[in-house]
Amino acid sequence: MATYKAPVRDMEFVLNEVINVDSLTKIEKFEDATSDIVSGVLEEAAKQIDGTIGVLNESGDDEGARLNDGEVTTPTGFKEAYAAYAESGWIGLDKDIEFDGQGLPYALATAVTDMLSGANAAFSLYPGLSNGAYEALKAHGTQEQKDMYMSHLSLGDWSGTMCLTEPGAGSDLGQVRTKAAPQDDGSYLIEGSKIFITAGEHDLTDNILHLVLARTPGAPEGIRGISMFIAPKFMVNDDGSLGERNSIVCPSIEEKMGIHGSCTCVLNFNNAKGYLVGELNKGIQNMFVMMNAARLMVGLQGLGVAERATQNAITYAKERKQGRPLTRKAESSFDSDTIIVHPDVRRMLLTMKALTEGCRMMAYDTAKHVDLSESHVDADVRAASKARVDLMTPVCKAYITDVGTEVTGLGVLVYGGHGYIKENGMEQNLRDSKIFCIYEGTNGIQSLDLVGRKLSMNGGQLPKDFFADVLEEIESTASELDFIAGPLKSALSELSKVTDWVIESKQNNLNDAAAVAVDYLQMFGLVTVGYYWLRASKVAVANEGRFYQGKMATAKFFATKLLPRVYGIAPVIMAGSDCVMDPEEDLIV
């Protein structure tokens, strides 16, 4: 059976020593977020998550969500664990005080989401989508809508969903056919079906707030004619109490490869009452607030499941005896060592550690920039941090979730045959991880966003500013860290050259950029993780103890064995799209 223990020490290292989250205390609203408070929050969250939610991971997978007459029941124990989680204030950790949140940094909430995802990825989706609904209402809701809904989302007694996808409208939301007819009282009647709705129906909260994309009569075609509406499961009376049930029906739930404890369902809106959020025909722009929050959350799910796989693989490798190292002769046929002595097993374990811990630094630092972009007093700082978040959102979503599948796959391999069978829990990690590469925009779409939009925004300034920060970090490095500074500088130079090629290729052949986008994001992610391992190495070399020695060893492994992957990716990118697009369709059989 696989287990999970929140990696509090590593989280503290990243927050307090690598990204210096304590610097946020200079912002008035975060003045209480000192390193002591950060450590205290992490310790308390870990106790509850490890003790009440993590223990439900495998049983939730076995039992799954169940549908009976339109009502969904979550796995045994989920309802009680969710109530305890919400009552302890974890859902509202970073929400505004005026809406019953605690007003702490998003960076700290990110760490809690990391451990929640590692403990139980399926469970994490129930509070996870509420965060996006909160942010969408905060950005685009009327004051009346904020007052009516946002405190409930902070407290967790109500939850939220994103209702985008339809049978004929997946990644191409311009194909949305759901209709919203205006009524005399200012409401709309919504008619249509949505599919793949995460946490669309469940028994954990008193109400569910559905944010729905739909078209009004006479709206322009394509994405320019889509609006966003809020349609609650139960109508809300003027005094805030719950009224009659809305005309929203769950006819079926999906039987999935993984995350069985999370309800993914079809929702039919049968002239359901809804209310416009933001301006008419601005639904896509409004929904992007929610989608970007969700994309960062999904990256954390990939991180969490990678951490879970890594922990169990290391434990197993230190206990499982099999074979002997090539450097030692056997004393008998039964003479064997733990498998961690084997070079290939160590290669897998160190790959898992280097990628997982590197991605944690990238995710937490991006979250810190979210805090700066929203709350710093200096407009220039806000703008610069917003640009960094824009650049890093597709990287955090796609690269970290790809790491999740790579690391969970390695976890199965470390166990060998015992990893492939169900009782040890490693195959669940791999099954759960794959959806993170798919929902909230596939990783291919994230790559297209990076190449097609983010590289060109602000005249191409986003990557230039980031590369300048990486180079500054390299050039301020002492010679004792040349083992990583040197390779990183070379890798950055290669990435810069490839970036110029991609930007130029877009002017001549759009297929080139589209065909190599995934490879480019992988290269970008590798260099970015290298940048954070350099920052971690600067902290580690200045401190003593086994923890810091372990960080140095992992950094050396990354610099030597993983960062050189960029040199294999670069020529693949600059080969362009001819070999992809030249074959006629009937040759692809």
Q: Looking at the annotation, which residues are catalytic?
A: 440
Q: Which helix (H) or strand (E) holds 550?
A: helix 546-557
Q: In whole angstroms, what is the distance from residue 479 CA to residue 373 CA?
A: 34
Q: In whole angstroms, what is the distance from residue 78 CA to residue 89 CA?
A: 17
In degrees, to the nearest 5, what angle opens at C-alpha 223 toward C-alphas 222 and 224?
90
Q: Which residue has the tokens 């280097």?
A: 354
Q: In whole angstroms, what is the distance from residue 360 CA to residue 345 CA?
A: 23
Among the listed residues 527, 260, 306, the one whose alpha carbon sits nearest the alpha carbon of residue 400: 306
**Contact yes or no for 262/122 (Cβ under 8 A):** yes
Q: What is the DSSP string of 343-398?
A: HHHHHHHHHHHHHHHHHHHHHHHHHHHHHHHHH-S-HHHHHHHHHHHHHHHHHHHH
- Mapping DSSP to helix (H, G, I), strand (E, B) and coil, where does residue 198 land? strand
**Contact yes or no for 81/91 (Cβ under 8 A):** no
Dihedral sign from CA coordinates of 463, 468, 470, 471: positive
Contacts of 306 (CB under 8 A, 6+ apart): 352, 355, 356, 359, 400, 403, 404, 407, 408, 433
Contacts of 13 (CB under 8 A, 6+ apart): 536, 539, 547, 551
For 256-280, letters b (16+ CB in 10 Å) and e give bebbbbbbbbbbbbeebbbbbbbee
Helix runs in 258-335, H state only:
283-319
Q: In whole angstroms, what is the distance from residue 188 CA to residue 459 CA?
A: 41
Q: What is the DSSP string of 167-208?
A: TTBSS-GGG---EEEE-TTS-EEEEEEEEEEETSS-SSSSEE
